[in-house]
Amino acid sequence: MKILVCISNVPDTTSKINFTNGDTEFDTNGVQFVINPNDEFGLTRAIWFKEKQGATVHVVNVGGAETEATIRKALAIGADEAIRVNATPTDGFFVAKQLAEIVKEGGYDLVIAGKESLDYNGGMVPGMLAGILGYNFVNSCIGIEVEGTSAKVVREIDGGKETLSVGLPLVVGGQKGIVEEKDLRIPNMRGIMQARTKALAVKEPVAVDAKTKAVKFEKPAAKSACKLVSPDNLDELVNLLHNEAKVI
């Protein structure tokens, strides 16, 4: 079985976010980038298939040379080979088209992507990728087993879980639950050293017209100062909740 894991290069959630050029571009200065958490859950599951069923695991990223440290971490975790599409990811459709070309070229049986990246939270790429390829698709995946040419997939739905039987080839949008946080792997020294010699192919992008563009970014409004009310002054509390907070 050949597995392709799609990796997004996203800011660490502890990073301080700023924008430049009139709030039209994300400021990367001083920002630490990591593997998108939903993608890391999927990568860990793919490594499980490698160890238990002899699967081959490749990772792919659409991005510039600055993303290669993140890709090398994926290799250190256990992926066999990596591919970087040398392009700035302008929107979800652009990324999906680039990934589709990699999937077609590689003949992958299973494609695991995070259901969304934690920077833009678009949640579009896995579904569009499956649509372009004509592959089966399961989103919000929290469990997957593969036997032969079929997969048993568990996905999260409102109020519960749903178990599906799906044929390969298959695209899944994974999230926490496909593995748990305790199962995530920290690269050891041996893995880091091996990652330096593993193949990292750089592909040029196919021509695609982006369907959307970011016009402007805006931070959430700062929270107002906390007001303290004496427990003996319930009338003032009711007045504030009614006239200022407007919750009653």
How far apart are alpha carbons 189 and 187 in whole angstroms?
A: 7
Whole-prediction pTM value? Answer: 0.87
Looking at per-residue confidence, does 102 or 29 come out higher?
102
Mean pLDDT of 6-23: 91
pLDDT digit string, tens, across residues 110-132: 999 999 998 888 899 999 999 99
User: What percentage of the chain has pLDDT greater than the value 70?
Assistant: 100
Given a contact cutoff of 8 angstroms between Cβ atoms, the answer to whether 42 and 74 are in contact is no
Question: Is the pLDDT at 224 greater than 80, yes or no?
Answer: no
Q: What pLDDT is stored for residue 71 in this prediction?
A: 97
CB burial class (10 A; 0-12, 13-18, 19+) of residue 202? exposed
